[in-house]
């Protein structure tokens, strides 16, 4: 991720995903604020994104796509609720990002085996490595 705009686009996509169920819970908001801080985006800039139209991020590498997919998996599970619409939307986002369909499906299936459905990064990486070999 090189530019501020790319970081804002990533956050914008995450905000849109968090709102798939027509709400933005406090736990989701706090998680997103943390991601924004991690990306070097201040809270005022983040809050301004809440009022803007969704931008579609463009990822330069497969690693960036996988990291974003993992962020979205974490976001979906932060409120400890998974709705069919969220799972379906996340699956489609993964496919649109060009991730292997079988890897996306596998991640969405195995997340139920982990506490709070939070797939550890090393497990996610191994899944994608297996599908690229």
Question: What would the pLDDT profile of 14-53 be if each residue is shown by its tens digit?
Answer: 898 888 887 888 899 999 999 999 999 999 999 998 888 7
| Cα angle value 21/112/80 (rounded, 5°) | 40
Domain interval for residue 113: 4-132
Give the model's pLDDT for residue 1: 53
Q: Show Cβ contacts of residue 82 under 8 Å, excluding neighbours closer than 6 positions.
A: 76, 117
**Contacts (Cβ under 8 Å, ≥6 apart) of 60:** 2
Q: Quick one: pLDDT band at residue 80, thresholds 50, 70, 90? A: confident
Q: What is the pTM of this model?
A: 0.82
- Kindly indicate the confidence band of residue 79, based on its pLDDT and cuts at 50, 70 and 90: confident
Widest pairwise Cα distance in the chain = 43
Q: How far is CA 42 from CA 59, 116, 119, in A?
A: 22, 28, 27
**CB count in 10 Å sphere of residue 94:** 23
Count of structural domains, the chain: 1
Total residues found in the chain within this entry: 133
Instruction: Output the six-digit token pair for 88.
Output: 């379906």
């Amino acid at each position: 991720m090189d530019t501020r705009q790319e970081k804002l686009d990533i956050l914008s996509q995450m905000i849109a995903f968090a709102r798939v169920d027509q709400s933005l819970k406090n736990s989701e908001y706090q998680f997103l604020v943390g991601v924004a801080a991690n990306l070097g985006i201040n809270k005022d800039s983040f809050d301004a994104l809440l009022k803007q139209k969704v931008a579609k991020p463009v990822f330069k590498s497969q690693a960036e796509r996988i990291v974003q997919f993992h962020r979205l998996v974490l976001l979906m599970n932060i409120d400890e609720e998974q709705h069919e619409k969220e799972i379906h939307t996340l699956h489609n986002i993964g496919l649109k990002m060009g991730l292997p369909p079988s890897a996306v499906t596998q991640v969405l299936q195995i997340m139920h085996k982990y506490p709070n459905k939070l797939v550890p990064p090393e497990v996610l990486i191994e899944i994608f490595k297996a599908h690229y070999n």
